Amino acid sequence: GRCSQNKNMFLFHSAVAVPVLPARTLSLTACMFKSKNHNTDNNSLEDEIDEAEIEELFQQQIPAGISEEEHRVFIVHPDVKWGSRKQYLTTAALQMEEAVGLVNTLYNWSVVDKIILSTKTPEKRRIFGKGNFQALTEKIRAIPGVTAVFVNVECLSPSSEKELQEAWGVKVLDRYSLVLHIFRCNARTKEAKLQISLAEIPLLRSRLRNEVANLDQQGGGSRYIMGSGETLFEMQQRLLKERELKIQSALERLRRKRHLLRSQRKHRDFPIVSVMGYTNCGKTTLIKALTGDAGLQPRDQLFATLDVTVHAGQLPSHMTVLYVDTIGFLSQLPHQLIDSFSATLEDVTHSDLIIHVRDISHPETVNQKVNVLNVLKNLQIPEKLLNSIIEVHNKIDLLEGDPEVIPISALKQHGLEVLKEKIEEAVVKYTGKQIMTLKVQLNSPQLAWLYKEATVQAVDDVGDDCTANVKVIISQAAYGRYRKLFQVT
């Protein structure tokens, strides 16, 4: 039971054979990470769609073509010296470090060697100039047991991938295909599986065009399938489109269910706080520290969270808030991958407040911040919500503090009370809640109603007339209901 593959990406061996889309299966129970399994409780959302339907869509076509054996990976990082593709907020060494981390996330994968190689022509099929490419090819072929080469770029074109594989004699991966494979091995819920399947469609479509173009050169791509009235390419495109529509339909059903769950939370008037950040920055650890939720099991692993989960916590005033744990972000990923997770990330746009967690001990912390903020802007987050962001510097136990930010250590639970006070202050500001003192008749249901519908901070000054002054945090809507119900002026 590990990830397995059919060795043929597309069965285009002859012009007369009926082709099929790749049917390589990849067992999720088999895909293993260097950590314990973590099951997210999302039952109220998951019951909406049949498990067999999801598995059929999830296992139907897989573009990566990664075999089940352990992988010995050679990493190549193209260091672009100038131009629009140069990365200015990081270094080639740090980018290589992240690439190594991605490979090491997968069980039974190891990095056998790595190289940073300068290039002036990253857009060319071979990426590097003739001399550098020849030297690189000789180096890769000289290392025994290399099973894959990871080229640390956003996305290789199908023609570039094909040429590199022919030159090096092993599977070639880019960031898109490697991260998708990590996602596949980490997917537990129906929604995660559907969103990953949707993200794979552009890769499948692109590679289909390339395969058919190659077949056309042999005179077979434009032939009609017997009795169908369709060419090979048309049939493959239709099958892909049908699969895409099925996935989108299933995601839409989950989206409607998620909308219903959000409406129920809003009706109960719980403030929603989304916790976001770069992958492995400590979001889940922070939520566990803020809520005391023993069910949360943070992992020191990239993309440990692929689903939105909601966890209740209390602020110093005893106000209940809901913390939303979200998928972590990563630099240099195509927009299609983020777009595929729009159903999950839609919850963020309906939040009252965003906490941006930064691993301040990380050498790329500035670059990571820019990447997260760019993704948030691309998600069309409302301006008011963007302005509400509380930036939290996590892992302060690993370096000197900075008095200008909210420094915490989620692991050691340092600075959490200050953070909770800041969250409470922001929640009151951005939700339109009011802090007020109400005179309440103790021989009426007023106080019990306030405990249920608002946040009662203090009850004092009980007088001989059976009244008390009650300090509450209450929304305008709840205060309106209170006045109407108890005829308070």
- Beta-carbon neighbour count of residue 465 at 10 Å? 10
Token pair 């109603």 in the structure block, residue = 449
- The answer to whether the CB of 82 falls within 8 A of the CB of 222 is no
In whole angstroms, give the CA distance from residue 389 to residue 366.
16
15, 67, 209, 306 from 19: Cα distances, Å: 9, 21, 14, 34
Rounded Cα distance, 143 and 64, in Å: 23
Q: What is the DSSP secondary-structure string of 317-384?
A: T--EEEEEE-PPB-SS--HHHHHHTHHHHHHHHT-SEEEEEEETTSTTHHHHHHHHHHHHHHTT--HH
Query: Are 228 and 18 spatial neighbours (Cβ–Cβ below 8 Å)?
Result: no
Strands (DSSP E) found in 90-234: 109-119, 148-151, 171-173
Residues forming the annotated binding site for Mg(2+)?
284, 305
Q: 210 with 159: CB under 8 angstroms? A: yes
Question: Tokens standing for 295?
Answer: 């069910």
- The closest alpha carbon to 103, from 165, 182, 2, 196, belongs to 182
Angle, CA of 410, 346 and 359, to the nearest 5°: 25
Binding-site positions for GTP: 277-284, 303-307, 325-328, 394-397, 409-411
Provide the 10 A C-beta neighbour count for residue 291. 17
From CA 204, how far away is CA 22, in angstroms rounded?
A: 9
Q: Cα–Cα distances in Å, from 13 out to 177, 185, 214, 218, 285?
A: 24, 30, 12, 11, 51
The CA distance from 222 to 385, in Å, is 52
> DSSP code of 80?
E
Annotated binding-site members: 277-284, 303-307, 325-328, 394-397, 409-411
Q: Could you tell me the two tokens for 249? A: 């339909």
* Beta carbons within 8 Å of 218's beta carbon, 6+ residues apart: 15
Closest by alpha carbon to 23, among 58, 53, 49, 48?
58
Q: Which residue has the tokens 């072929």?
A: 141
